[in-house]
Structure 1
């Protein structure tokens, strides 16, 4: 045992000498790398705020972070700074998420409204499902009891030509609360709506009316995007036009659903989303072009730094492209990162530095803490971190071309670098893709080796040239090669997606398993020397946990109308609707095809009233709207009863009753019948304002009591 003497001459608690020495050696060896974990600590605090369901737990997390910082003051030297900063960053993450939630708080609708005549100002229009449906973001007019709020409405009829941002419209519409997740732990549209300031969602019925056209003068950016999108579709047409609109304006709604699914299966969905790759191509291309053009002006080149001027111009071009594409979160995040890289270039620093990537992550997480839960944020930073770690490694040094290399050797290094970067990125992204989407493309590496050079070297430059020439009426000059290259990109996606075993499907990955794998990946990327391979053990442990983790085998929808059981690799449903979003979500969650009904299960007894099924560890009674005459007897012998209506006292099961009243508070439910493990949307969200069990119009504050956010009454 080793003991230490504190500043007052008192003996501190003894610790094993060998352990102390090993920890000291590790900290000393990794001292320069530990700063890279600052955004990780901030993300940890943000993650705690979202993961802890109740306000008291979030308050405890904030206090724990501050207590850790105070505890660090008792240490000395580098350990003191490390512990204090770690505690403060954890507390800052919790506080940043709380501040952002309060910043976007808006009144919400907590009940469904029957169709009524509504009016408002169009904020944005986006096509969906290949253009068959339009999503309208509407600033709804204030009423006698409700303030003006933002709602999202879908339009299932062809949009009129005057439907554009700024126009005032009216029509018969129904509204309801933003939808909750279809399964606990799944994609949460309600949480997304909260942070987007959307108070309600619904749809228009029939035609909409124009109350006032969009105002004259310079059109708003949203109107420019709408006109440009329509002009692009008209000029290029078909799949080529739809992909061009996605690449320029960030709208995927014009793409055929089957083509979009094929691109996802082939691992090419990231190419259709304006994000880091596209911003990098634009910024990098403009940077190289401006440097060469400015270097042709001797007077300027001899007096000023051409690189710095070109960097500013490239940053401006990237920002304009981000705004033109709709300023979605991935594009904004990539633009911030691009400015950080350009700033490093202007200061003569390494632009592909892990420290700069960490700094960009800190800025984004402080400004938009909810981005942490966004798959695009995780995928983008996982990819760029993996690439930066590869570039800084010994393998990366061997892959870089050297001056003494001949043409063939240089070409070989470039090809090897392309293959290795693709492989590293695929390995880094696969766990995240599987965790969020339940499947990943098997041939993604091959597809990206073809699609990324095609997009970066041919399509994006041709798009820029086509846009420039279109301003003076010469766009048709480059339209044929542009159309061919865009169709070639679609062809790559459809061809690769059609290969046997093009995607691997895995039941939903538990969040702890993903976190263990991400922690291992961060250790591999951010540490140096042999210590980094400690992360490999975590990655393998997380992968094993993901494969062996027990999963629910019974799903119940939030309205109680649909019930599904997983058995023999198939999803057995109470009702039909196999192509709906709910069944699709359950199928992905369980990695089971929705090809069977509850009546197909051995021993199931089904009739018009529903089904009685004996499951491992549980007897289920799933009711429909038609209740049996002997409901009391049937309920008494069931462990679990589900129903889409309120069941009164005659129904008393041995265990739990999930009728309309109970599910209104719980939301969607998932159960592992063997162990009786019960999970629901409300248990995951707790008292957060987007939770099904949240008090209407109230938001718990991290510091203080409840805050009134308001409700929509009519």
Structure 2
């Protein structure tokens, strides 16, 4: 007689087999139950805050769409996320002991799918196919946008035109030299011109800037330059944007009141116009870790709103009748909000500015309601709003750096040790100031740590002394330069702003001197080779866990961050870098010295080769390489790895050579590189990088030790902005 509740063993079956067959589902069910129970306890004990993680899941969906190769993969990913949400509801329905886990899986899965759907929809709505080939065309167009760039002596016009070959409306961007700029070239005007256009360029090397992707989401089908003169057919009258007019007027006014580099920086602070800042000053600010001061973002918007809030609260407090009948924090918050929105619109409403404005509105609302103004939920709402409107911003450095800095600041200041350190106490003014100075330095250091992975991923270089420079630069800009600019602009209405413009110039000269001094110090800049997506994903995952989780469990975020740092430290440097047109090449020897095929210092191709090779030593010509044997037409390069010697044949020009001699040379080479089509008789032992290969695959990075080849095409998938030449 069988005992109730025990499994029955069929007659004739071995006991072991029956036990496995019957017990295994029970064991699996028990394991799943224990796993779910542990996850539920963990979420409950950690006070799981869904708000920020919903935005993280939404952003993860957007990022997954960029990473996946084609529509089928994206559809499967979205379907899997929806199925996960439905499964969580079905499996744990009615179980109060799984409420937190059910809610977490459901909400995060739906947010992931929604993020992927958002960016996919945006791509389909605004993406514009590029023109097929470089061409010179005559355009009859309307001006959509005008951007003045006096630092490079040109005006950049965005035009609505028609593709003569395809017969479709297109948006193109044309650079017009300042000497050919004519009056009336403003938004809405109709013009005729001849332009040399080309498709938006893909990355020149794996890991380089992807302008084609950025142009896709801006709707640009081509970029180029003016050929000949530009004819103004129809003026716009008074129909052009009043905001654009105000922005240009303000920028010109500031530059007219303050000459030189300080005037260009002041114009950037006042109107968001960075077109007048020289490349030398831009590079110095970047290498000193101060570039964020030039981009209108949280610091500037916060300063404007804080000043408006403070002045409104103090001025209205002087009116007793009003102060007794109206809540002054509410009125001051409304004034600050108006000032912040006006400043955001005036400075161009770029993504960092909009993000900062949304965050500031939430802070003002919290202040008006007497709530905690700085919270991760506030950042999450601001990030979600930006990503819903501009999902493509997720993969850009501006969004990543802005939110990384804000999240780092809030996580730091909400931590218990920092709250205790900043808590009010009886002390002298000197000790109070010392604590605030230390806190400013610690904040700058934490921001630098948070931003370094992002900066290295996008720019392959980072300023090492940024924390020290920001201790001086941030208070200087926030409490001196920007208030002085505001006062000078107000006093200009009565013609009395000159003394304050002089003070603005002094403060900005000090800022530039600090940037140039910091950037010129030995070891101020660290270059690293291209960081893979896996490494930056580990950094981001670790950083978000550290910032958003609560309790001791947040320290688990150190594990992926430390792992990413270790992988980055041992990541190999590419031995050979070949640009997308084959026109330039970089070679790194066993000592880390870089040799380039051609290109003067500062050219786009050479700069990218230097950065992606992580070389801090001035590169030399390829002919100076010890293993180079060069003729008038070709260079034979010998490179040694741990187990063999590699022979690389590089074409130096496009002169015709005897095909039999070329075939013999190719047969003796492991890799052949040329900026032209090579005959099929050229058969190297391993890899032939000629024009045919490079047009299909883009720029190339070669790792000889691992016999690995990374191409631009390998990270592009079937997205609309990648258009390789097909055979």
SS of aligned partner of 2:143: strand
SS of aligned partner of 1:552: coil
Q: 1:694 to 1:330 in 2, by over 3 A?
A: farther
Q: Which residue of 1 aligns with 2:9?
A: none
SS of aligned partner of 1:478: helix
| Structure 1: distance between partners of 2:162 and 2:253 | 31
| Structure 2: distance between partners of 1:530 and 1:325 | 42
- The alpha-carbon deviation at position 289 of structure 1 amounts to 1.2
Q: Which residue of 1 aligns with 2:74?
A: 58
Q: Which residue of 1 aligns with 2:624?
A: 600
Q: Which residue of 2 aligns with 1:650?
A: 681
| Structure 2: distance between partners of 1:365 and 1:219 | 26
Moved more, 682-691 or 622-631: 622-631
| Structure 2: distance between partners of 1:487 and 1:451 | 11
Bigger Rg, which one: 2
Correspondences of 1:630-645 after superposition (within 5 Å): 630-645=661-676
Q: 1:350 to 1:94 in 2, by over 3 A?
A: same
Q: Which residue of 1 aligns with 2:83?
A: 67
Contact residue 187 and residue 240 of structure 2 kept, 8 A: no
| Structure 2: distance between partners of 1:164 and 1:511 | 41
Contact residue 578 and residue 594 of structure 1 kept, 8 A: no
- The alpha-carbon deviation at position 218 of structure 1 amounts to 6.8
- The alpha-carbon deviation at position 549 of structure 1 amounts to 1.8
Q: 2:231 aligns with which of 204, 209, 214?
A: 209
SS of aligned partner of 2:619: strand
- The alpha-carbon deviation at position 272 of structure 1 amounts to 0.7
Q: 1:295 to 1:142 in 2, by over 3 A?
A: farther
| Structure 1: distance between partners of 2:212 and 2:680 | 33
- The alpha-carbon deviation at position 425 of structure 1 amounts to 1.4
Q: Which residue of 1 aligns with 2:696?
A: 665
Q: 1:244 to 1:473 in 2, by over 3 A?
A: same
Correspondences of 1:685-704 after superposition (within 5 Å): 685-693=716-724
| Structure 2: distance between partners of 1:632 and 1:457 | 69
SS of aligned partner of 1:678: strand
Q: 1:493 to 1:274 in 2, by over 3 A?
A: same
| Structure 2: distance between partners of 1:167 and 1:238 | 31
Contact residue 399 and residue 414 of structure 1 kept, 8 A: no
TM-score by length of 1: 0.91
SS of aligned partner of 2:179: coil
Q: 1:678 aligns with which of 709, 712, 717?
A: 709
Q: Tell me if 1:402 matches 2:435.
A: no
How many residue pairs get aligned? The number is 687
| Structure 2: distance between partners of 1:219 and 1:382 | 33
Q: 1:243 to 1:407 in 2, by over 3 A?
A: same
Contact residue 57 and residue 108 of structure 2 kept, 8 A: yes
| Structure 2: distance between partners of 1:143 and 1:379 | 41
- The alpha-carbon deviation at position 119 of structure 1 amounts to 3.7
| Structure 2: distance between partners of 1:336 and 1:631 | 63
Moved more, 455-464 or 34-43: 34-43
- The alpha-carbon deviation at position 129 of structure 1 amounts to 7.3
Contact residue 250 and residue 274 of structure 1 kept, 8 A: yes
Q: 1:319 aligns with which of 338, 341, 351?
A: 341
Q: Which residue of 1 aligns with 2:634?
A: 610
| Structure 2: distance between partners of 1:201 and 1:314 | 40
| Structure 1: distance between partners of 2:125 and 2:309 | 37
- The alpha-carbon deviation at position 207 of structure 1 amounts to 4.0
Contact residue 520 and residue 538 of structure 1 kept, 8 A: yes
Contact residue 70 and residue 719 of structure 2 kept, 8 A: yes
Q: Which residue of 1 aligns with 2:142?
A: 121
| Structure 2: distance between partners of 1:159 and 1:451 | 38
Consecutive unaligned residues in structure 1, runs of 5 or more: 1-8, 697-714
Of structures 1 and 2, the one with the larger relative CO (CA 8 A, separation 6+) is: 1
Q: Which residue of 1 aligns with 2:14?
A: none
Q: 2:214 aligns with which of 179, 192, 204?
A: 192
Correspondences of 1:337-348 after superposition (within 5 Å): 337-348=359-370
| Structure 2: distance between partners of 1:77 and 1:14 | 19
Q: 1:37 aligns with which of 48, 53, 69?
A: 53
SS of aligned partner of 2:706: coil
Q: Which residue of 2 aligns with 1:587?
A: 610
Q: 1:622 aligns with which of 637, 650, 653?
A: 650
Q: Which residue of 1 aligns with 2:292?
A: 270
Q: Tell me if 1:155 matches 2:176.
A: yes
- The alpha-carbon deviation at position 341 of structure 1 amounts to 1.9
Q: 1:335 aligns with which of 333, 357, 361?
A: 357
Q: Which residue of 2 aligns with 1:701?
A: none
- The alpha-carbon deviation at position 456 of structure 1 amounts to 0.5
Q: Which residue of 1 aligns with 2:474?
A: 452
Q: Which residue of 2 aligns with 1:434?
A: 456
Contact residue 666 and residue 681 of structure 1 kept, 8 A: yes
| Structure 1: distance between partners of 2:84 and 2:34 | 25
| Structure 2: distance between partners of 1:388 and 1:502 | 28
TM-score by length of 2: 0.89
| Structure 1: distance between partners of 2:502 and 2:584 | 50
- The alpha-carbon deviation at position 26 of structure 1 amounts to 2.0
- The alpha-carbon deviation at position 231 of structure 1 amounts to 2.3
Q: Tell me if 1:497 matches 2:519.
A: yes
| Structure 2: distance between partners of 1:516 and 1:54 | 24
Contact residue 271 and residue 347 of structure 2 kept, 8 A: yes
| Structure 2: distance between partners of 1:35 and 1:52 | 26
Consecutive unaligned residues in structure 2, runs of 5 or more: 1-24, 93-97
| Structure 2: distance between partners of 1:356 and 1:603 | 58
- The alpha-carbon deviation at position 20 of structure 1 amounts to 6.2
Contact residue 152 and residue 198 of structure 1 kept, 8 A: yes
Contact residue 557 and residue 669 of structure 1 kept, 8 A: yes
| Structure 1: distance between partners of 2:322 and 2:725 | 62
| Structure 2: distance between partners of 1:218 and 1:640 | 56
